[in-house]
Amino acid sequence: MTRPSNDTFLRALFREPAAHIPVWLMRQAGRYLPEYRALRAHAGDFMALCKNPALASEIALQPLARYALDAAIVFSDILTIPDAMGLGLSFVENEGPKFEHPLRNERQIRRLFVPDPFDRLRYVTDAVSATRKALNGAVPLIGFAGSPYTLACYMIEGSRSNDFRFVKTMMYSRPDLMRRILEIVTEAVLRSLNAQIESGAQVVMIFDSWGGNLATAAFQEFSLFYMRQIIAGLIKKKEGERIPSIIFAKGGGMWLEAIASTGCEALGLDWMTDIGEARRRVGREVALQGNLDPGVLFAPPENIAAETGKVIDAYGPDATGFIFNLGHGISQFTPPEHVAALIRTVHEHRLTKGKNLVSGY
């Protein structure tokens, strides 16, 4: 395995000197792009796209055909793992994901199993392989999975939730059952991420979308503990190249030091976290990724450029260890030309402000 011709993203993850500030966007391949909407209409539904490696690869490359992005991310969904466990995933238009068999009793939980990622999730590993081949060494490919706690939230609630009533009832009434779910899901996530690395992913990312709904002690016990296990078990090198990992914990700004201590190479920050303060707290231990409010992309291009510049300036005069991203996934209502304005601003920032050229700590 050799580094891509554009390795700025990898350099930033390892806090090495880089030619410019790398940028990619969470959900960069998706409903805001007309070419994605056309392909989805042809395929029929979201999971039909996910389960077709050729189409998934085509979608992953769509934003790179439009924009000068510095990384690609495999087109898939964090809920493919619980679907492979037999919970019956479907996506309802305008409602989001739903499980036919949410985990509500001990018998169901005792029957949980770890799916073989090269069998029941073969379409994911095949999509990774197809995308890596199609990239042809241009930019790094990111594989990903949800955190055990986030997946457990969906598996227990059965869908999105405002109050996480079923999750927290189980967590505080039957913590033994909650731990059983988390143990199984942790092993499933670890196997899936390692399978993605074996299939060609050069970076892996864990999305802890719902860890921020926990109290501090509960976050340590029911989310961070299991992410730490995953980071420890990941393949660290493939064909001589290091495989870095990123943790994105939405609402996790108060726990940056604890998350950084897991051994991951980078923290993804939500837009509620001040990136300059985050750098002061953990920037010598990990790279930082983020964290523009996705809502900024509804503004005119000149406003987008101004707000993007504020995030870069807040990070500091030396951009070592900085990956520009949004503080959450891009909205489906974002005008594609506004994304172009953001990416152009990031890449030109160091050209107009030489102090931002990466030079090391």
The three state secondary structure string of the chain is: CCCCCCCHHHHHHCCCCCCCCCECCCCCCCCCCHHHHHHHHHHCCHHHHHCCHHHHHHHHHHHHHHCCCCCEECCCCCCHHHHHHHHCEEEECCCEEEECCCCCCHHHHHCCCCCCCCCCCHHHHHHHHHHHHHHCCCCCEEEEEECHHHHHHHHHHCECCCCCHHHHHHHHHCHHHHHHHHHHHHHHHHHHHHHHHHHCCCEEEEEECCHHHCCHHHHHHHHHHHHHHHHHHCCCEECCEECCEEEEECCCHHHHHHHHCCCCCEEECCCCCCHHHHHHHHCCCCEEEEEECHHHHHCCHHHHHHHHHHHHHHHCCCCCCEEEEECCCCCCCCCHHHHHHHHHHHHHHHHHCHHHCCCCC
Confidence class for position 352, pLDDT limits 50, 70, 90: very low
- Asked if 357 and 317 count as a contact pair (C-beta separation under 8 A), the reply is no
Q: What is the mean pLDDT of residues 57-83?
A: 98
- pTM strictly above 0.75: yes
Per-residue model confidence (pLDDT) at position 44: 84
Residues shown for the chain? 361
Q: Look at residues 196, 179, 185 and name the one whose alpha carbon lies nearest to residue 147.
A: 185
- Span 164-200, pLDDT tens digits: 999 999 999 999 999 999 999 999 999 999 999 999 9
Confidence class for position 356, pLDDT limits 50, 70, 90: very low
CB within 8 Å of 126: residues ≥ 6 apart: 53, 199
Q: Which residues are catalytic?
A: 27, 31, 40, 77, 154
- Asked if 4 and 72 count as a contact pair (C-beta separation under 8 A), the reply is no
State the architecture of 8-356 in CATH terms. Alpha-Beta Barrel (3.20)
Q: Look at residues 13, 84, 26 and name the one whose alpha carbon lies nearest to residue 287.
A: 13
Is residue 253's pLDDT more than 70? Answer: yes
Per-residue model confidence (pLDDT) at position 37: 95
Gyration radius of the chain's alpha carbons: 19
Per-residue model confidence (pLDDT) at position 162: 87
- Asked if 325 and 271 count as a contact pair (C-beta separation under 8 A), the reply is no
Comparing 53-67, 80-94, 226-240, 294-308, which segment has the lowest mean pLDDT?
80-94
Comparing 28-37, 88-97, 265-274, 340-349, which segment has the lowest mean pLDDT?
88-97
- Span 205-238, pLDDT tens digits: 999 999 999 999 999 999 999 999 999 999 999 9
Tokens standing for residue 127: 């999509």
Comparing 55-69, 79-93, 142-156, 252-266, which segment has the lowest mean pLDDT?
79-93
Is residue 353's pLDDT more than 60? Answer: no
Q: Look at residues 83, 68, 202 and name the one whose alpha carbon lies nearest to residue 146.
A: 83
Is residue 53's pLDDT more than 90? Answer: yes
Percent of the chain exceeding pLDDT 90 equals: 89
Is residue 291's pLDDT more than 80? Answer: yes
Per-residue model confidence (pLDDT) at position 350: 58
Domains in the chain: boundaries: 8-356
